[in-house]
Amino acid sequence: MNKLKGSFMSYFLMYLCFYMALSFLSGLLSVYLMNKGYSATQVSFVVSMGLVASVVFQPIVGYFSDRFNERIVNTFVLIISALSGTLFVFADNIYTIALYYSVALGLFNSAKIVIERFATLSAHSYGKIRIWGSIGYAIGFKASGYIYNYIKPEYMFVLYSSGLIISIVGMLLTKDVKTQSNMQQSNDNQGIWHKDFITYLIVIAIFYGCTNINSTYLPSYLEFNGISVDTISTVIFYTTLMELPVIFFADKLMVHFDNQQLLFIEFILLIIQFTTYAFIPIHSVQIIITITTKAATTMLFIILNMKIIATIIDAYHQITALSIVSMVNSTSSMLFQNIGGYIIDSYSYQILYIVLLISVILGILIIGHCSFLQKGRLKYGRKIST
């Protein structure tokens, strides 16, 4: 066991199984619930409760992680999340479903911050660790489709719990090598609540609100259009694998483009996605656009967000800024989830994607007026601090 302490295998197990578990819990949630007779509004209610729980649990888990052993605290957190995932199978009404899902997802998201931190403080390259999270999610989603169609849908949530237990074993075997101070970048900005950061939070709210509701309803939208669940799981499998080249080539993108240009690229990719879903009802086109743009867009944004925060926030406030970004992510997603569920029930998926398209265009207009985002192009040979 000592040989595994701090080894790449420990991070491999932690990341692969952690994100594989997430795909079992949330990947086909909308399909699972809507096929059980629940409406899109009720699905949005369940997802929103998970986001509310995330906002509540994240500062609490962070507080205890700072003051006690991080690994022990988050082991306890993930065990409770795993138990809630198992209880989800036995939930018999929308309120108990929301309760178990919110506890499971809220604690999962709270532990995710610490999982990411362990990866950045390890002796191994963050990119080489992070790719296994993407691969794990892809494998889990593909397995979910098979389980849903050929075994029993409820087993997905049992596998969520099993995946977390294996991830806990990996987490307990990890070992910090770098210190947090080594990971921080310094800049000339002071403080946190200034105009640039507040404007950027509006961009964050639009991006995460649109992409998170798309992640929730895309599987049910594709099924509504006549694509089988098995095919959908295969599409998401290849979609998630498209994160890998983004992780490998992120440094080169950061060299050639500044923050504003990269955000333009991100939002243009979202326009392509939502235009396709709203106006091009051709299965092959929808599948190609999903595979080539969806996961790559969100992964690039995760990396870009770290760089933008390092550019506009001084080193002493960057962790706080990232926590605020996470809270804006959850709050915006709750708002979009509830509006989106209402739109689907009252109108159609097409109207939902038109609304998302308009929101993204608004985001592009805001980005165009953010001169502070023109900073942030890295020099050759400089690595992204992630």
Please check the confidence at residue 377 and state whether its pLDDT lies above 60. Answer: no
**Is residue 251's pLDDT more than 80?**
no
Q: Token digits for 299? A: 């992964």
Q: What is the CA radius of gyration of the chain?
A: 20
User: Which carries the bigger pLDDT value, residue 373 or residue 96?
Assistant: 96
Each residue of 19-42: pLDDT tens digit? Answer: 999 999 988 888 889 888 899 889
CA–CA distance, 218 with 289 (Å, rounded to integer): 12
Residue 181 has a pLDDT of: 45
Least confident range of 108-117, 155-164, 193-202, 270-279: 108-117
Q: How many whole angstroms separate alpha carbon 237 and alpha carbon 376?
A: 32
pLDDT at 384: 43
Q: Is the pLDDT of residue 179 over 70?
A: no
pLDDT of amino acid 65: 75
Specify the DSSP class assigned to residue 317.
G
Sign of the four-CA dihedral 254, 260, 182, 9: negative
CA distances from 105 to 78, 223, 259, 358 (A): 10, 24, 31, 29
* Residue written as token pair 């923050």: 259
Q: How confident is the model at residue 104 (pLDDT cuts 50, 70, 90)?
A: very high
Task: Look at residue 256 in the predicted model and tell me its pLDDT.
Answer: 82
Report pLDDT for 2: 63
Give the pair of three-digit tokens for residue 303: 């990396």
Mean pLDDT of the chain: 85
pLDDT at 1: 59
**220-246 confidence digits (pLDDT tens):** 899 999 898 889 888 988 998 888 888
Residue 70, pLDDT score = 81
| Alpha-helical regions (H) of 257-294 | 259-279, 283-289
Element (H, E) at 85: helix 70-88
Asked if residue 24 lies in contact with residue 163, where contact means CB atoms within 8 angstroms, the answer is yes
Region 205-215 average pLDDT: 94
